[in-house]
Structure 1
Amino acid sequence: MLQRPLASEYPEYYKPYVNLVPEGNLLTLLKENLVKTIELFESLSEEDGHFRYAENKWSIKEVLGHMADTERIMSYRLLRVGRGDQTALAGFNENDYVQGSQINKLPIKNILEDFIAIRKASLTLIQNMPEEAWANIGFANNTEVTARSIGYIIAGHALHHYKIISERYLSLLK
């Protein structure tokens, strides 16, 4: 079973995400999170998808699009680091990605389907990662990061945004 990464294996700014990941099997957690995410977003209307809990905050659709984009990028990083690639990987600006996506023009169903496809790809990548590869160290956004920590960052990032949607968005929608 994949072990929780040490704090020295990832940049400090990922600590809140890693800390959100409960003890247990990472694959099981990611599968359970996928089911909950599907249930949550399937319960929303198109109108709900455009809701923002405050001015200048992302819409619900934009949050889901951000979750998909970030998991796609993090899974790519996991692939590269897990395979021993030492090439430095660039960072990304999440606000630029959301703005450039024009995600609000898409049906929420399409955005959810994209997230599902990305999560399923993440699951197969994690499931098939050789055990020794989890300790590999790579470079992303000018910092060292292990493959193991990227797996936990993927899970924690999704948990973080699921919590934000539940607490900040849905509480005001009802």
Structure 2
Amino acid sequence: MLERPNLNEYHPYFERYLELVPDKGLQDILKKQLETTINLLSNITSEQAEYQYEEKKWRLKEVVGHMADVERVLSYHLLVIARGDTVSFTPFDKDLFMTNANFRQLDFKDILSDFTIVRQCTSSLISSLPEDSWIRTGTVLNHPMTARALAYIIAGHELHHQTIIKERYLINNNLDSMEKGN
């Protein structure tokens, strides 16, 4: 079983994500998260996906695209560290990623599908890693980072954005009644 990482296995910045993740069954958590996110967003129209809760904030479709991008990056870091490479990963600029992404031109259903595929790939990677790979350490944000910490951060990042979507996009976009089936 994949145990929760210790505090010394990741940069303190990531604690905000790790504290959101329940203690047991990471693979089940990742699967249930995906189901929750898909159920939350599967009935969103193209118009609703364009919603921004403030002028300079991302559109809902961009948030989902960001979730997929971050999971790709973190999964790559996880893979490299789990395989024993000692490369040091520098931070990536999420705003630069957004500037150079074409989420605004993509159909929301395609973005949601992409996120689903990314999560399936992440889950496949996590389920295939041998036990001894979880404590292998690399460097992320100039700090030691284990493969298992990255797996938990992936889960926490999605939980973080699920909350933002519920609190700032769905309710403010008058989608809360749709979510409840009204």
Unaligned stretches of 5+ residues in structure 2? 175-182
Instruction: Name 1:11's counterpart in structure 2.
Output: 11
Instruction: Name 1:76's counterpart in structure 2.
Output: 76
Greater mean alpha carbon deviation, residues 140-149 or residues 14-23: 140-149
- TM-score normalised according to structure 2 size: 0.93
Q: Pairwise CA RMSD of aligned residues?
A: 0.8
SS at match of 1:173: coil
CA contact (8 A) 2:65 2:111 kept: yes
- TM-score normalised according to structure 1 size: 0.97
Instruction: Name 2:31's counterpart in structure 1.
Output: 31
Q: Displacement of 1:23 after TM fit?
A: 1.8
Aligned residues: 174
Q: Does 1:65 align with 2:68?
A: no
Instruction: Name 2:99's counterpart in structure 1.
Output: 99
Q: How does 1:124-143 map to 2 (within 5 A)?
A: 124-143=124-143
Unaligned stretches of 5+ residues in structure 1? none
* 1:18-54 deviation digits (Å, cap 9, x = unpaired): 0000121000000000111111221100011110111
Counterpart AA for 1:5: P
Distance (whole Å) between structure 2 residues aligned to residue 102 and residue 118 of structure 1: 17
Identity of aligned residues (%): 42
Distance (whole Å) between structure 1 residues aligned to residue 153 and residue 97 of structure 2: 19
Q: Write 1 or 2 for the structure with the bigger share of helix.
A: 1
Instruction: Name 1:55's counterpart in structure 2.
Output: 55
Q: Does 1:90 align with 2:95?
A: no
SS at match of 2:2: coil
Structure 1 segments of 4+ aligned residues over 6 angstroms from their partners: none
